[in-house]
Amino acid sequence: MSTELPFLVELLVSALILAGAGFAVIGALGLARMPDFYMRVHLPTAGTTLGVGCTLSASVIYFSFSLQTLSVHEFLISMFLFITAPVSSHMMAKVALHTGVKFVDHTQGRPWPSRTQRPSRDNSQILSDWQTRDRKETE
């Protein structure tokens, strides 16, 4: 484990770890800065995709060199994350939509209403318009 790695490899591993951490920070920063829930859902994907991707690439390179065998566990981690992360984002957005979480007023377009919709105060008028339109469409 404590074998000396070539300088270039160390450099690459460090750069990848820093980049991964950077993407995670950016994801967290975005989470704090965005004005509404729907916009906040977007930024953590940066952390789970490229953030984790860079960190895992660093892990693959480091362990492949120090143990002298190709390390492939990491690909499984990214595979599982790529399957589960979008599902959780999707479910959060969906639940927010169905419980009527407000969105900022300059959002273009409107979501369709769900049967369980409890329209929020600000967007209620537009949402009820959509509700009647949707009802017509399904009939």
Q: Pick the piece of the chain touching another protein (CB under 8 A) from 8-16, 57-65, 79-87.
A: 79-87
11 interacts with another protein by CB under 8 A: no
Which residues, including other chains, have CB under 8 Å from residue 38's CB and lie 6 or more apart?
A: 93, 96, 101, 103, 107
Tell me which of 18, 75, 120, 132 binds another protein, using CB under 8 A.
75
Tell me which of 13, 16, 20, 23 binds another protein, using CB under 8 A.
23
Helix (H) or strand (E) holding 84: helix 73-98
82 interacts with another protein by CB under 8 A: yes
The DSSP code for 106 is T
Q: Cα dist. 39→27, 32, 70, 85, 130 in Å?
A: 12, 11, 39, 16, 22
42 interacts with another protein by CB under 8 A: yes
118 interacts with another protein by CB under 8 A: no
Tell me which of 11, 15, 18, 110 binds another protein, using CB under 8 A.
110
